[in-house]
Structure 1
């Protein structure tokens, strides 16, 4: 009997609505654990998760039966509820619409995982806007500025 074999690695990036810094450092570990649970429940493999107070990076090993847009929608919807019910923000929390998804080869995984794990250090030198635009250019994705995230001054 034949089977389906695949290696699909996707880095997902999305931001807090209006790029507000609402993910508190003392809460991010709980948030990441919660998102990890969503990913595992959807039968996908989490390889790395980290971010900043205004955005998040997730690297997954994705099965070909997974619909990426459905997975991201579920992560955003469920984590929104989790954040609100946990009362971790004095302000109304929402994820911004849209996301970035970038594919990688198996040989790139260690570099991508290191990159994600070092977000705090990385963003001492580079704004999220510059980082995100660099991803779009690196992956040769055409874009118009008016369709990118709502930016605040970095």
Structure 2
């Protein structure tokens, strides 16, 4: 739409169903490229992405033509389908139901990019459970423990 200008940064967190370590290093970069393509094809900008074995972080410059929840649904559905069609795994791949989505100001983007790119080192010190609950606390998101991701650690 003419004369519409936006700057919306969303940090998504998706978790592998059952918190299984299914995103192997051998497919990580290819999966990241595929997810980046999904984001681009929907008119958004993928600023940073890192797929850990059991969860994924993505920082997106969101185009308001699509809602946060619709983009999450499309990324998860299409990437799951792609992983299964490629037969990377013996069993069917799925993301857990739900996702985290956290907004940032432009002044915070480089810090978030560094955080996402540093995921392997970060998780040598911090569990995913600690990380995710820290996000919820920092962003003052009310949550019910019963509906959080399956935490196995």
Is the 1:24–1:88 contact (alpha carbons within 8 Å) kept by the matching residues of 2? no
**Which residue is 1:31 aligned to?**
31
**Which residue is 2:10 aligned to?**
10
- Higher mean Cα deviation, 99-108 or 86-95? 86-95
Taking only aligned residues, the RMSD between alpha carbons, in angstroms, comes to 1.2
Q: CA deviation at 1:14?
A: 0.9
Is the 1:51–1:116 contact (alpha carbons within 8 Å) kept by the matching residues of 2? no
In structure 2, the gaps of 5 or more residues are: none
**Which residue is 2:92 aligned to?**
92
Q: CA deviation at 1:51?
A: 2.8
Counterparts of 1:124-135 in structure 2 under 5 Å?
Answer: 124-135=124-135
Aligned to 2:25, the other structure's residue is in SS state coil
**Which residue is 2:151 aligned to?**
151
| Distance (Å, rounded) in 2 between the aligned partners of 1:2 and 1:78 | 31
In structure 1, the gaps of 5 or more residues are: none
| Distance (Å, rounded) in 2 between the aligned partners of 1:65 and 1:44 | 9
Q: CA deviation at 1:68?
A: 1.2
**Which residue is 1:83 aligned to?**
83
Aligned to 1:10, the other structure's residue is in SS state strand
Superposition TM-score, scaled by structure 1 size: 0.96
Is the 1:51–1:120 contact (alpha carbons within 8 Å) kept by the matching residues of 2? no
For the pair 1:139 / 2:135, whether they are aligned, the reply is no
Superposition TM-score, scaled by structure 2 size: 0.97
Q: CA deviation at 1:91?
A: 2.4
- What whole-Å deviation, never above 9, does each CA across 1:75-96 have from its counterpart, x for those lacking one? 1111111111111112221000
Task: Decide which structure has greater helix share.
Answer: 2
Q: CA deviation at 1:2?
A: 5.8
- What whole-Å deviation, never above 9, does each CA across 1:84-112 have from its counterpart, x for those lacking one? 11111122210000000000000000000
Count how many residue pairs are aligned between Structure 1 and Structure 2.
153
**Which residue is 1:22 aligned to?**
22
Is the 2:15–2:56 contact (alpha carbons within 8 Å) kept by the matching residues of 1? yes
Is the 2:45–2:62 contact (alpha carbons within 8 Å) kept by the matching residues of 1? yes
